[in-house]
Amino acid sequence: MINTYQTSVALPQAPPPVPPRLGRSQPVLIPAPLPSPGQSKSLLRFLVCVVVLQLFLSVVGFFYLYYNERQISQATYSSPQGRVGAPPIGKQETTYRALASMVVKNSSTLYGDRSGYIEWDMQHSVFKNINYFHNSWLTILEPGIYFVYSKVTFSKGSSITPLVSLVKLRKSEEEEEKSVMIAYCSLNNDMKSGSNPHMCTATQQDMIELERGNQLSIWVEDRSLVDYDISAISFGMYKV
Greatest mean pLDDT range, 11-15, 27-31, 35-39, 207-211: 207-211
What's CA 225's distance to the chain center, in Å? Answer: 34
Radius of gyration of the chain, Cα coordinates, nearest whole angstrom = 41
Q: What is the C-alpha separation between 128 and 150, in angstroms, rounded?
A: 18
**Least confident stretch, 3-7, 103-107, 128-132, 158-162:** 3-7
- As a whole number, mean pLDDT of residues 94-114 equals 72
Cα–Cα distance measured from residue 60 to residue 86, given in angstroms and rounded to the nearest whole number: 34
Q: Any idea which of 31-35, 96-100, 138-142 has the lowest mean pLDDT?
A: 31-35
Q: What is the pLDDT of residue 47?
A: 87
Q: Where are the domains of the chain?
A: 96-239
Report which DSSP code applies to 156.
Answer: -
Strand partners, 144: 210
What's the rounded Cα separation, in Å, for the pair 46 and 74? 42
Residue 96, pLDDT above cutoff 80: no
Whether 134 shows a pLDDT value over 90: the answer reads no
Q: What is the pLDDT of residues 184-238, one digit of tens each?
A: 988 765 445 444 457 899 999 999 999 999 999 999 988 888 898 888 999 999 9
Q: What angle do CA 102, 228, 178 make, to 5 degrees?
A: 60
Position 20, amino acid: P
CATH architecture type of domain 96-239? Sandwich (2.60)
pLDDT of residue 168: 94
Q: What is the pTM of this model?
A: 0.55
Confidence check: pLDDT of 149 > 90: yes
Instruction: Give pLDDT tens digits for 47-70.
Output: 888 888 888 888 888 888 877 777
214 burial (CB, 10 Å; 0-12 / 13-18 / 19+) is buried
- Position 29 scores a pLDDT of 57
For residue 193, what pLDDT is reported? 44
pLDDT given at position 25: 58
